[in-house]
């Protein structure tokens, strides 16, 4: 039966809700976006650990361009609660549809993999689980606690869904005390209806603000993609909104179109424009900013966490 269901899953379209959409031309990538595939032994070792522990990674599911570099340093970002998302964001390559039941062994398996990879810092992300009463909050908390038990020195960053209409869910995750609470705002409010139709901009801002209310010492982080057609002023306003919510760390990266059925790329933002966003973001008070064409939420997350801690220490020393 399991085999039959798996086979059916493999033959279903990955994004059924996008099948009726007209094809969008896929733009040729500029030189500054090119990345090389990796064939290193460490890359293969990471791949084997992921496979042996039945893990799903956002690196693979999202077709991340940085996988060669990250996996060669054993940096894999686990995606928990299955490989199927209940939302249908227009930019995302993660499979959509009706997800399977949660795997009760997953928190332990993730913890084992984190220990085997000997990670200093781990990023745990997940699909959206609107089908669950708590949006999967307890499962995320259990995963944090399982990692803490086996790898007490490892710092933990969670990249969570928005828990829209899931009262009490955020509190469960914050109570488990991740070191970094990340929730991506993804785009400016004017593009929500086409880019992130199942989400609400101000709900996401409020979610981040609420984390700081619950635990002012917890680092908060958010990220957006550029290249959907947003204006510079809209991005600057979004930065102000995130700062009003007390967000510490901002990531900005280029949107890349996974298939011709996904949202089209309006344009490729130049490295100079990314640098200019970084300067603006620092002037608005973010403790840390990562802004480059290939920046992703979890890209260089371990080095960035060390820089984030240092930035806070410096800020405390000055004040
Ligand atoms: S940037 Fe993040 S998602 Fe992409 S390969 Fe690296 S760890 Fe994985």
Q: Note the residue count of the chain.
A: 319
Residues with CB under 6 A from ligand 1: 58-59, 64, 66-67, 70, 75, 77, 296, 298-299
Per-residue pLDDT, 235: 98
Find the 3 Cα to ligand 1 centroid distance in Å: 30
Which ligand 1 atom lies nearest to the CA of residue 296?
A: 1
DSSP letter for each residue of 136-204: THHHHHHHHHHHHHH-TT-EEEEE----TT-TTHHHHHHHT--SEEE---BS-GGGHHHHSTTS-HHHH
Mutate to test the pocket of ligand 1, among 38, 42, 70 (most ligand atoms within 8 A of CB): 70
Ligand 1 site-directed mutation target among 33, 56, 75, most atoms within 8 Å of CB? 75
What pTM value is reported for the model? 0.93
Is pLDDT of 1 > 60? no
- 3-7, 45-49, 69-73, 112-116: which has the minimum mean pLDDT? 3-7
DSSP 8-state code for residue 273: H
Check residue 254 and give its pLDDT. Answer: 97
* Nearest to 138, CA basis, from 126, 123, 150: 126
C-beta of residue 223 within 8 angstroms of C-beta of residue 182: yes
Q: What is the pLDDT of residue 9?
A: 58
Residues facing 219 on adjacent strands: 180
> Residues 10-30: pLDDT tens digits?
667 888 888 888 888 889 999
């Amino acid at each position: 039966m399991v085999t039959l269901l798996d086979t059916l899953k493999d033959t279903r379209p990955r994004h059924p809700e996008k099948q009726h959409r007209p094809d969008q031309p896929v733009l040729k990538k500029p030189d500054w976006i090119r990345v090389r595939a990796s064939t290193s032994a460490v890359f293969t070792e990471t791949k084997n650990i992921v496979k042996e522990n039945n893990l799903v990674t956002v690196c693979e599911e999202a077709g991340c361009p940085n996988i060669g570099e990250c996996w060669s340093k054993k940096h894999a970002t686990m995606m928990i609660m299955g490989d199927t998302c209940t939302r249908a964001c227009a930019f995302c390559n993660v499979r959509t549809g009706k997800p399977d039941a949660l795997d009760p062994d997953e928190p332990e398996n993730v913890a084992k993999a984190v220990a085997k990879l000997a990670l200093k810092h781990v990023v745990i992300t997940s699909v959206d689980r609107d089908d669950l009463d708590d949006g999967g909050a307890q499962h995320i908390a259990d995963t944090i606690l399982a990692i803490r038990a086996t790898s007490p020195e490892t710092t933990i960053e969670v990249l969570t869904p928005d828990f829209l209409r899931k009262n009490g869910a955020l509190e469960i995750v914050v109570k488990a005390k991740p070191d970094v609470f990340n929730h991506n705002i993804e785009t400016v409010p004017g593009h929500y209806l086409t880019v992130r139709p199942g989400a609400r901009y101000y709900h996401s801002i409020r979610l981040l603000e609420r984390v700081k209310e619950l635990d002012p010492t917890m680092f908060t982080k958010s990220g957006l993609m550029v290249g959907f057609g947003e204006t510079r002023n809209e991005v600057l306003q979004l930065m102000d909104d995130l700062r009003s919510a007390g967000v510490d760390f901002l990531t900005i990266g280029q949107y890349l179109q996974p298939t011709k059925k996904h949202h089209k790329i309006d344009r490729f933002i130049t490295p100079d424009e990314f640098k200019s966003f970084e300067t603006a973001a620092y002037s608005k008070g973010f403790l840390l900013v990562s802004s480059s064409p290939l920046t992703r939420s979890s890209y260089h997350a371990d080095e960035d966490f060390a820089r984030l801690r240092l930035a806070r220490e410096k800020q405390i020393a000055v004040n």
